[in-house]
Structure 1
Amino acid sequence: MDTLLILGGLLLALAGYAWLVMLAFERGPLWGLACLLPPLAPVFLARHWGFARKALFLGALGCIPLVVGLAMLASHDSARLEAILSLQWLRSGPVAAPELDIALRGELDGQAFAPQQAELIDGVLSLREGQDFYAHREVRIRLPAQPRGALRLDVLPDDRGPRPVVEVSWLAPGADLPEAVRLGSGYSLHLDLRPEAPNRLRGDFHLVLPTEYRTTLSGRIELYTDRLRYRDGQVDTRFDSADTLAYVLRDYLQRRFPGRQLELPETRLEPLGPILQVPLDFSLDGEPQHLDLELGRSASRGWTVRGDRYPKLAPRAEASVPAAEPQPAAPQPGNAARPLSLERLQAEPQRYVNRGMRVTTERGRVAEGVFTGLDPNGRVVIRHLLTGAGQASYSLRPAEISAIELLPQ
């Protein structure tokens, strides 16, 4: 609708300007040639207002649907409006290829769905459209476990037994929080994904929700299986993610202690600034060790350990691993979210600080992130990490919370 209003307004404005030029030629060829140059058109209007004002009124009439269409576009797709107003579509030069090969047909909540981000991490398949804090539209499929190798899964509406949970969310125009629905049954799902080196899955994706949700998606997707990015076959340390920081730390220790048996516990650092102080405990040949390291980020080298002067390890031949046969995801004990009562959280908030948490409100909205505590007003504060560097926090009143789930560590 917004596109039709914008196009209609532009056509009316152009028709008004063309009419003005025609009227100017009726007054004389010099006036007509002058009006072909927009800066001189006001001169003709001033000299022949009574004769030319009808063309101006037609052009002004086109401004009404143009402004309304731009306002509607800004309310639900600000990035697209910014690209239009900045005239990026007029600039010459090569167009950057999309990071992932995603070709989906269909709609989400009755609107076209064109995700730019896709991943399958910790058993959650996510397709996300929009770069803002809240996705414009998003599909999440919570599998019983993170698959290893290929993934093939078929679910029908009448199937019984454990099934993935499907979450669909969308940000309505003018809304502060996205609307969301969760379905544990009644949908159709087909996944046929095969691994591609180094950290991607690619294949067919089909999802059909019940009619009232107006969501049907079908096509081909490509997604990441971790939050590492590669450049020329090497890990790109300029990408901000917890997986990048863990890779940099492990690589540093392996080069500092070559040939030693290294055991590094699971670390979850977040790139919240250009410099990070990291107290690191690890095991070396079975003996506990401790180092205080400093991670820094530069535009050219990305994340590095300050003072790192250790040489690179010689490349090792890697044994080829046959591709795993496609297997349906099987549930694993202890890898599912656990319910948590609001009363227990309020009684012992310090016990759950820095734990992954998913909170559902009475209106069906879902907030997921890391629990950081209760604010002075007793609200539940959740920290949500952005795709790139940075974070955002939001708080929820206890009265609007309907369910709380602890995410697996």
Structure 2
Amino acid sequence: MEALLILGGVIGFVVAWIWLVFGSLRLGSRALLLAVLLPLVTPFLRDSAFARLPRILLLASLLCVGGGLWLLQQHQPEHFARLLSGQWHQQVPAGELQGTLMGQPFAPDNVYWRGDQLVFAETAGERVRRSLVVRFDGATRLLQGTAIDLLPGDDGPWPQMVLQWYTGALASPGLRRVASDYSLSLSLAPQGRDSADMVVHLHLPAEHRTRLTGRVTLAERPSWLGRSLTSTQRPAPPPEPAAPTPPPAGWQEVSLLAVLDEPEHFVGQRLRLVTIAGREYEGVLKAVTSERRLVLALPQGANQVDFQFHPVDIALIEVRPRI
């Protein structure tokens, strides 16, 4: 609303100014200079020869611009401050968390785990301006390993998304909950003793106008990550004779969404896929099709066969880094 008022006021001012200048051509050079250089003075000149309609349009345009700026200051004070300082576009360093929340720019500067809840908060001083909370309380089975991937259509349970935003001092805060049917990819990599690097890709359905992507370093890693790492570091019991051969050393679990969004980093590398049905495939990734299917080249004797895998059929994906 405020953008429409400001834009409409500017356009109306330009139209009224041109109208006033052309109307003053027959009034002499003095009136013409006044209309060109000081058009804002003409509405306040009594008994002048200037046309009345363009002067009224000038005043109405100024009121529209002033009303739009007042609404902008009330609803989006950070944008109003950047407008006054000349910084019209806020530059966010590449790779940092950024996105939108209910159509508003969202750049969380405080990210942390609160028990089984992941909190993304954008603050202004001590006040939380916008926040997004991923609640895993009802989906704790996902808190295993170092990667979490969800696509629309996957079986539940799903973490609940809680969105909160504030549009100004005169408006009530907004609150929305999203239960399922979104895309979420989290990948955590422990760093040092307590911290961890986390890569986030989040896309909510279109009606929520919310997305978030980027990388962030957590000052304190979640408690469940420590438990899952400890459990994976325990020595495995000797395999039974009928047990399948353990995977070769060097495999690293990766995010499915990362492979789909940035295939150029994985094409030509050896991948190991485990499907929902429990079948394992190992081969070289050839491409990701326009339908977002993974094309894997598998050796068959002296020949090579290409298999295509749909994302919803993939339960686990691992990569062997190039040496």
Range into which the TM-score falls when normalised by the shorter chain: 0.5 to 0.7
For 2:142 and 2:180, locate their aligned partners in 1 and report how far apart those are by CA, in whole Å: 23
For 1:113 and 1:136, locate their aligned partners in 2 and report how far apart those are by CA, in whole Å: 11
Q: How does 1:153-232 map to 2 (within 5 A)?
A: 153-154=149-150, 159-161=155-157, 163-171=158-166, 173-174=168-169, 178-182=173-177, 185-193=179-187, 195=189, 200-208=197-205, 214-218=207-211, 220-226=213-219
What is the RMSD computed on CA atoms of the aligned residues? 4.3
For 1:97 and 1:75, locate their aligned partners in 2 and report how far apart those are by CA, in whole Å: 24
Counterpart of 1:8 in structure 2 is: 8
Counterpart of 1:69 in structure 2 is: 68
Identity of aligned residues (%): 19
Preserved CA contact (<8 Å) 1:118 1:125: no
Counterpart of 1:24 in structure 2 is: 24
* TM-score, with length taken from structure 2: 0.52
Preserved CA contact (<8 Å) 1:118 1:222: no
Which amino acid in 2 is paired with 1:13?
A: F
Alpha carbons of structure 1 residues 224 and 119: separation in structure 2 relative to 1, 3 Å: farther
1:51 counterpart SS class: coil
For 1:21 and 1:103, locate their aligned partners in 2 and report how far apart those are by CA, in whole Å: 47
- How far apart are 1:134 and its partner, in Å? 4.3
Find out whether 1:114 has 2:106 as its counterpart. yes
- How far apart are 1:223 and its partner, in Å? 2.5
Preserved CA contact (<8 Å) 1:124 1:146: no
Preserved CA contact (<8 Å) 1:152 1:326: no
Preserved CA contact (<8 Å) 2:188 2:198: yes
Counterpart of 1:59 in structure 2 is: 58
2:96 counterpart SS class: coil
Q: How does 1:5-404 map to 2 (within 5 A)?
A: 5-38=5-38, 42=41, 46=45, 49-89=48-88, 97-98=92-93, 101-102=96-97, 104=99, 108=102, 111-117=103-109, 119-122=111-114, 123-129=116-122, 131=124, 133-143=126-136, 144=140, 150-154=146-150, 159-161=155-157, 163-171=158-166, 173-174=168-169, 178-182=173-177, 185-193=179-187, 195=189, 200-208=197-205, 214-218=207-211, 220-226=213-219, 325=253
For 2:177 and 2:42, locate their aligned partners in 1 and report how far apart those are by CA, in whole Å: 62
Alpha carbons of structure 1 residues 138 and 63: separation in structure 2 relative to 1, 3 Å: same
Alpha carbons of structure 1 residues 201 and 86: separation in structure 2 relative to 1, 3 Å: same
1:73 counterpart SS class: helix
2:53 counterpart SS class: helix
- How far apart are 1:14 and its partner, in Å? 2.3
Which sits farther off after the overlay, 136-145 or 55-64?
136-145
Preserved CA contact (<8 Å) 1:118 1:224: no
Unpaired stretches in structure 2, ≥5 consecutive residues: 222-249, 257-323
Alpha carbons of structure 1 residues 70 and 45: separation in structure 2 relative to 1, 3 Å: closer
For 1:70 and 1:188, locate their aligned partners in 2 and report how far apart those are by CA, in whole Å: 36
Which amino acid in 2 is paired with 1:180?
A: L
Which amino acid in 2 is paired with 1:206?
A: H
For 1:102 and 1:73, locate their aligned partners in 2 and report how far apart those are by CA, in whole Å: 25
Which amino acid in 1 is paired with 2:54?
A: A
2:219 counterpart SS class: coil
* TM-score, with length taken from structure 1: 0.43
2:124 counterpart SS class: coil
Alpha carbons of structure 1 residues 324 and 119: separation in structure 2 relative to 1, 3 Å: farther
Alpha carbons of structure 1 residues 81 and 227: separation in structure 2 relative to 1, 3 Å: farther
For 1:140 and 1:58, locate their aligned partners in 2 and report how far apart those are by CA, in whole Å: 48
Unpaired stretches in structure 1, ≥5 consecutive residues: 229-321, 329-409
Alpha carbons of structure 1 residues 176 and 18: separation in structure 2 relative to 1, 3 Å: closer
Which sits farther off after the overlay, 68-77 or 125-134?
125-134
Aligned residues: 221
Alpha carbons of structure 1 residues 182 and 88: separation in structure 2 relative to 1, 3 Å: closer
- How far apart are 1:113 and its partner, in Å? 4.5
Q: In terms of Rg, which structure is larger? A: 2
Preserved CA contact (<8 Å) 1:189 1:207: yes
Preserved CA contact (<8 Å) 2:43 2:56: no
Alpha carbons of structure 1 residues 147 and 20: separation in structure 2 relative to 1, 3 Å: same
1:7 counterpart SS class: helix
2:50 counterpart SS class: helix
Alpha carbons of structure 1 residues 178 and 146: separation in structure 2 relative to 1, 3 Å: farther
Alpha carbons of structure 1 residues 156 and 36: separation in structure 2 relative to 1, 3 Å: closer
